[in-house]
Amino acid sequence: MKPIFILLVGVIGMLGCNDMYDNHKMKPLQKSNYYADHLSARQIPEGTVARGYARTDELLYTGRIDSVLADAFPFEITDEVMKTGQHQFTTFCTPCHGRLGDGNGMIVQRGFPRPNSYHADSIRSKPAGYYFDVITNGFGRMYSYAPSVPVRDRWAIVAYIRALQLSQRMPAEELSSADRISISKAAK
């Protein structure tokens, strides 16, 4: 009884597959008489967003709040974010901006024009969203890093740039005594 039943189910299943095998298919952009516009590929409905590409968080994806560059971060800055920022900065930014962000990278030493220093007052006063926008869209001679650096890593770079800026202008009296001792030992 069982073998006959299994055989019968198998035969019925194969008959159904044969219909799919013989189905007519359309190649993309091939002329079609089925639709009134004679296109085989259908137009994507307006407002369609590909899976994984919904950009609902304006701050995260543009660096803006209500279309104005924001001086806020879209997530908490942790030690892990700073480590990621340092790694990405070292990989993508130091060739031009240098390890300290002073604009003295290797390209300058090879004769190319010096990029802006992150420590210049005009650059330090920019909101965090400005740096994100420049990394994303490029500026001047700098091209967009959007294809190379994921969104969260771009924000991590911005956090690291802010840390570099603070490190170069921190008043000594605001440092802890342990930090002042460590710096004085390193300077000797």
Residue with the larger pLDDT of the pair 52 and 16 = 52
Q: 184 or 44, which is more confident? A: 44
CB count in 10 Å sphere of residue 154: 24
What confidence category does residue 9 fall into, taking pLDDT thresholds of 50, 70 and 90? confident
The reported pLDDT for the residue numbered 182 is 80
Q: What is the 3-state secondary structure (H, E, C) of 146-171?
A: CCCCCHHHHHHHHHHHHHHHHHHHCC
* Cα distance from N-terminal residue to C-terminal residue, the chain: 93
> Class for domain 77-167, per CATH?
mainly alpha
The predicted model gives 10-29 an average pLDDT of 68
Which pLDDT score, from 0 to 100, does residue 41 have? 81
Quick one: pLDDT at residue 61? Answer: 95
- Which residues on adjacent β-strands are paired with residue 4? none
pLDDT of 172 > 80? The answer is no
Q: State the Cα–Cα distance between residues 89 and 76, nearest whole angstrom.
A: 19
Above 70 in pLDDT, residue 16?
Answer: no
Other Cβ atoms less than 10 A from the Cβ of 93: the count is: 24
In this predicted model, what pLDDT tens digit does every residue of 113-148 receive, in sequence order?
999 999 999 999 999 999 999 999 999 999 999 999
